[in-house]
Amino acid sequence: SSLNTIVFDSSCNLNSIPSNFGTGLLDLSSVILASDGSLNTIDTDAFKLSDSISTSNYTQELSDVSGFSINIPKSVSTFGEGAFRLSHVTSVEFDPSSTLTEIPNQSFSASKLSNINIPSSVVAISNEAFMGSNLSSLAFEDNSNLNNIGKHCFSDSSLNSIDLPDSVLSISNEAFSGCTNLTSIELPINLESIGDKAFSHLSGELTIPKNVTYLGNQPFGSSSLNTIVFDSSCNLNSIP
């Protein structure tokens, strides 16, 4: 299909973008969603590039197409799992008044997404949300409510730096494993738990905040870290 632009205007009564809505739209460059429309859900695999794409061949298939941008209005409060998985989305812009509370499992995994700004309404970024994606940087809105980062959330992505909001309490198993480009990460002061192999393959320097009371197995396994600093007031009870 040569379709390159899709517009949902304010009079559209569609409540959700269904699964496989964008499948086969290889020339898609822009999806525009009305800021005052009725849309509230983007379903599972809504923008999957093609029927043939998979986790074994997505790198080649995505390299052969240009990306598309999409804005997410405040009316959208729910993503289905894998809404943008295996898609050629490169840019996502959320409404400043977004009501989205979770970025579900595999939302952008193995996608062409390169950067994103997480709205303050998001409480959890779930398992494998950005795993294997082209994501190189992300930012968080002021007054973020994020408290949990799921398993393999950013693993094997192109992430090179991240500054987590102070609201984050837990980083799950292998959340940043395989992020070989990641050389800078500032952990939040309120962080309490770091899961198994959370920072494997990380390089540079890492400071563990004082409120951390749990470290999983091999949290820094296979990393190239040159320095790990534990805060002088660290509450960690044991080194696993």
Instruction: With residue 61 as reference, give the H or E element that holds it.
Output: helix 58-63
Model pLDDT for residues 164-204, shown as the tens digit of each residue: 999 999 999 999 999 989 887 889 999 999 999 999 888 88
Query: Count of residues for the chain?
Result: 240
Model pLDDT for residues 118-158, shown as the tens digit of each residue: 999 999 999 999 999 999 999 999 999 999 999 999 999 99
Rounded CA gap, 161 and 83, in Å?
Answer: 24
Here the tokens at position 22 are 């964008």
Q: Band the pLDDT of 240: cuts 50, 70, 90.
A: confident
Rounded CA gap, 82 and 103, in Å?
Answer: 9
Half-sphere exposure of 137 (CA within 13 A, CB side): 3
| Residue 141: predicted pLDDT | 95
| Residue 1: predicted pLDDT | 65
